[in-house]
Amino acid sequence: MAKGTAFISTFGARYDGNADLSYQVMTGFEQTVKWYLPTNASDTAAIQAQGGS
Structural domain spans, the chain: 23-53
Alpha-carbon distances of 25 from 7, 38, 51, rounded to whole Å: 14, 20, 27
Rg, C-alpha atoms of the chain: 14
What are 1-53's pLDDT values in tens digits?
788 889 889 988 998 888 888 777 776 666 666 777 788 999 889 888 988 76
| Cβ-based neighbours of 9, under 8 Å, separated by 6 or more | none
DSSP letter string, 1-49: -HHHHHHHHHHHHHHTT-TT-S-----BTTB--------SHHHHHHHHH
The pTM is what?
Answer: 0.42
